[in-house]
Amino acid sequence: MPITTATVPGARLHVVDDGDPSNPPILLLHAGIADLTAWDALVPMLVTAGYRVVRYDARGYGRTVAEDIEYSNRADAIAVLDSLDIGRAVVVGNSRGGQIAFDTAIEYPDRVVAVVGVAAGLGGFAADSTPSELSTFDRMDALETRLDEAGPAGDQATLEEILDLDVRFWVDGPGQSNARVAGSIRDRVWAMDRAHYDAHRVQGRPVPLAPPAAERLAELRCPVLAVAGALDATEVAHTARHLEANVPNARAVILPDVAHMIAMEAPDRLAVLIVEFLALVPRWS
């Protein structure tokens, strides 16, 4: 498991590179409540299937070190590929990472072979949510505002509430039992999410794709697989189906018994979906 650093303007991105460098490369982009270790269970399966698997901690996450400057998440993803002399890659992104994957495929179409969105977001797309979900989102926003207002001294009680709410909503799934998912997964996501809120961690200021991806789906010419869980927030499955209906070459798969962190909850099934999807893609490097 070679570990390296991709140096970009205002940051040093922590990168992990697994598998034979001569194999077709896959780039993994983690969720906003996680870091690159969220892919730990999936990576060996993809390597065994014959792929080179690259992942990195985005700015503000994991072992990446960043400055407080404006930056592009799309450019960071391409810089990671450049640092490893990778010309083209399949990009797999979870949640926020999925949104970045679609954005990158639009801005850098010659560098992205295909996209797998895993409970992925889509910039500029507003899907329907249930009243209960909308109430939870409002609560999340209010807690984030309270935490910001607390300043550098922080507000431990508010932070604990944010972390608990994130795990209950995104890991368990809205309205699901807190015993549905293994405690080890819940604890790991809580810890990754907690690290993201470290008062000394610099996040940087991401510049969004403009116009947003939802207005540019015809530009997504590469194959797209959108995987969602039926136990996730309603908007996630809606996003997957929207992609299937509006992207030239896209397919949605809704797994009936998982929520948001699919690569942690069901890595074996996700690996099968990815490998079967990529079997139809001509070899790349």
| 276-281 own/partner pairs: CB under 8 Å, 24+ apart | 277/114, 277/116, 277/223, 277/225, 277/251, 278/24, 278/51, 278/90, 278/114, 280/223, 281/90, 281/113, 281/114, 281/223
Rg (CA), the chain: 18
| 193-199 own/partner pairs: CB under 8 Å, 24+ apart | 193/33, 193/34, 193/163, 193/166, 193/167, 194/159, 194/163, 195/35, 195/61, 195/62, 196/32, 196/33, 196/35, 196/60, 196/61, 197/147, 197/159, 197/162, 197/163, 199/152, 199/154
Q: Are 263 and 155 in contact (CB under 8 A)?
A: no
166: containing domain = 131-196
Task: Determine the pLDDT at residue 173.
Answer: 98
Task: Determine the pLDDT at residue 154.
Answer: 65
Asked if the structure places residue 239 within a domain, the reply is: yes
Same domain, 175 and 227: no
Query: Which of the listed residues 196, 225, 244 is the one where a domain comes to its end?
Result: 196
Same domain, 104 and 139: no
The secondary structure element, H or E, covering residue 215 is none
Q: What is the pLDDT along the chain (285 residues), one digit of tens a residue?
A: 688 999 999 999 999 999 999 999 999 999 999 999 999 999 999 999 999 999 999 999 999 999 999 999 999 999 999 999 999 999 999 999 999 999 999 999 999 999 999 999 999 999 889 999 999 999 999 998 888 887 765 688 899 999 999 999 999 999 999 999 999 999 999 999 999 888 788 889 999 999 999 999 999 999 999 999 999 999 999 999 999 999 999 999 999 999 999 999 999 999 999 999 999 999 898
Same domain, 90 and 18: yes
Asked if the structure places residue 215 within a domain, the reply is: yes
Asked if the structure places residue 108 within a domain, the reply is: yes
Task: Determine the pLDDT at residue 79.
Answer: 98
